């Protein structure tokens, strides 16, 4: 079942076209990665799909709701873990989770149960009382994703979730993301080849605001005749649309 | 309910920052102590505790601008707001959530200043209560100024503009540290156009029980508050859309 559909989606900033006529379909429960170098338009796409930025032209439908005409309904279905650290630094991890419960209008009982569930799922019980701003980058990302899952979203947007993390923290976070596969639809942006290859059901490759190619890693390798995914990516980005 | 949850978070963020407490509460109290000690050695009418305390309470409010602007600018820079913009919170939930925690904080700061001044010789009367209530319009003005600055500037700029420029403007142009008539001319005219001197004079008038005079001074503060609130709300909503 189709969960996300973009129709000729465009975002322009003065003379810069950040996203150009994006047409994309993502299925329910799929983990879809948007891969591209810096400035490809990945984060702008996420910002439009999460109703943070209004498109200049075109539209997108999330769970059947238009991001331009029904942003309130869209916001009830989605959650986002932004690229940068997005925790309240002077609040403890538990208070950060409670904050998200309160914002989504949970009762005390439901908040308590949800926090318990996510604490176990993300193994954050050892840092629950620590201030979020004092945690390492890896822990903060872990908390950030837990916060995004509080609202039980149908669709989760992860914007560069492992950016700046060391290799161990990155692999731990990958395991966590894998554990969510199938339960929620995940749209992940990254510029790490191995991240996209390791986690995704399908990958969309973007450059200069254009979606150049979409497919599984195998499909993209076959398209380019490359032996490995990195070579396929380089070939697609250098040669343009396939 | 959602707005109150967000407001509660803002309160915690502000109160758990030791620099906020040191400057917001400690600095006005240190000034009260120093200037009242100075007045005992070199008597000056301006630094008489009954004249000084209402002025210091107004000066202390400039830190509310710094607190609200810093919090908003930090949230914007850290992508925390980006996360919350994708939740059902509305623009007005954000605005009220940022503003509401600062109002009790401003009133508490004023109460503490008056209580601190009592052992220093402040005349105790019911007028202290009126002066505390009367500070609310100026507190609102300072808070919305913070909303405006936090919506426009980054953390570093907020530090310079609200932390240095605005606190100094509030000090120099309020007539708390020196009599504006002594400087006179253009400086005095500018001071009279801005709200700071009216706030200080209103507080002094309320403290001395001159309510008619207080009303004449409160009007420009209310006008400034309404005008700055409108600009601040529009600026915040605009930066939300510009994300």
Long-range pairs for B176-184: beta carbons < 8 A, 24 or more residues apart: B176/B46, B176/B52, B176/B55, B176/B56, B176/B58, B176/B59, B176/B200, B177/B46, B178/B46, B179/B46
Distance from CA of A44 to the nearest CA of B (A): 9
Which of A14, A44, A52, A60 is the best residue to mutate to test the B interface, defined by the most B CB atoms within 10 Å of its own CB?
A: A52
Q: What tens digit of pLDDT does each residue of A138-186 get?
A: 888 889 888 988 888 999 999 888 887 788 878 888 888 898 888 899 9
Please list every residue in chain A whose beta carbon sits closer than 8 Å to the beta carbon of residue B89.
103
What's the gap in Å between the CA of A4 and the closest CA on chain B?
Answer: 16
Q: How confident is the model over A63-100, as pLDDT tens digits?
A: 999 999 999 999 999 998 887 778 999 999 999 999 99
CB–CB of B82 and A89 under 8 A?
no
SS3 assignment, position B88: coil
The model's pLDDT over A122-139, given as tens digits with 9 standing for 90+, comes to 888 999 999 999 998 888
- Whole-number Å distance between alpha carbons of A53 and B122: 54
Instruction: Tell me how far apart the alpha carbons of residues A157 and A155 are, in angstroms, rounded to a whole number.
Output: 7
Per-residue pLDDT of chain B (243 residues; tens, 9 = 90+): 789 999 999 999 998 988 877 878 888 899 888 888 887 777 777 778 998 999 999 999 998 999 899 999 999 888 888 889 888 899 999 999 999 999 999 999 999 999 999 999 999 999 999 999 999 999 999 999 999 999 999 988 888 887 778 888 888 888 887 888 888 788 888 888 999 999 999 999 999 999 999 999 999 999 999 999 999 999 999 888 776
Contact criterion met (CB < 8 Å) for A88 and B9:
yes
Complex ipTM > 0.85: no
């Amino acid at each position: 079942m189709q969960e996300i559909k973009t129709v000729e989606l465009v975002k322009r900033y003065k003379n810069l076209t950040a996203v150009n006529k994006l047409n994309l379909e993502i299925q329910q429960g799929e983990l879809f990665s948007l891969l591209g170098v810096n400035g490809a338009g990945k984060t702008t796409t996420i910002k439009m799909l999460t109703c943070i930025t209004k498109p200049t032209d075109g539209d997108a439908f999330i769970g059947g709701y238009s991001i331009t005409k029904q942003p309130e309904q869209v916001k009830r279905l989605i959650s986002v873990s932004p690229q940068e650290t997005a925790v309240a630094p002077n609040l403890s991890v538990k208070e950060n989770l409670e904050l998200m419960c309160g914002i989504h209008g949970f009762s005390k009982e439901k908040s308590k149960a949800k926090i318990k569930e996510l604490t176990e799922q993300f193994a954050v019980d050892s840092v629950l009382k620590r201030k979020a701003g004092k945690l390492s980058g890896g822990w903060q990302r872990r908390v950030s994703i837990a916060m995004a899952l509080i609202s039980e979203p149908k669709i989760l947007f992860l914007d560069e979730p492992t950016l700046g993390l060391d290799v161990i923290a990155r692999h731990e976070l990958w395991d966590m993301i894998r554990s969510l596969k199938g339960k929620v639809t995940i749209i992940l942006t990254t510029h790490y080849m191995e991240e996209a290859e390791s986690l995704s059901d399908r990958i969309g490759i973007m450059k200069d605001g254009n979606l150049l190619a979409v497919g599984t890693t195998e499909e993209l390798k076959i398209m380019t005749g490359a032996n490995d995914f990195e070579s396929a990516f380089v070939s697609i980005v250098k040669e343009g649309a396939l | 309910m959602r707005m109150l949850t967000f407001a509660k978070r803002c309160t915690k963020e502000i109160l758990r920052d030791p620099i906020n407490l040191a400057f917001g509460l400690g600095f006005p109290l240190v000034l009260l102590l120093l200037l009242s000690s100075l007045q005992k050695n070199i008597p000056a009418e301006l630094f008489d505790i009954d004249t000084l305390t209402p002025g210091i309470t107004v000066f202390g409010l400039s830190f509310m601008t710094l607190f609200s602007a810093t919090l908003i600018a930090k949230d914007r820079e850290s992508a925390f707001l980006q996360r919350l913009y994708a939740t059902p919170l509305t623009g007005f939930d954000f605005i009220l959530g940022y503003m509401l925690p600062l109002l009790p904080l401003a009133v508490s700061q004023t109460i503490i200043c008056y209580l601190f001044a009592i052992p220093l010789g402040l005349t105790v009367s019911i007028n202290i209560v009126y002066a505390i209530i009367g500070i609310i319009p100026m507190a609102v003005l300072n808070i919305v100024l913070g909303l405006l600055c936090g919506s426009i500037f980054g953390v570093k700029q907020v530090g310079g503009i609200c932390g240095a420029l605005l606190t100094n403007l509030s000090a120099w142009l309020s007539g708390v540290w020196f009599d504006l008539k002594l400087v006179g001319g253009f400086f005095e005219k500018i001071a009279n156009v801005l709200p700071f001197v009216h706030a200080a004079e209103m507080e002094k008038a309320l403290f001395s029980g001159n309510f008619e005079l207080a009303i004449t001074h409160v009007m420009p503060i209310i006008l400034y508050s309404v005008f700055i609130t409108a600009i601040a709300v529009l600026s915040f909503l605009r930066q939300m859309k510009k994300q």
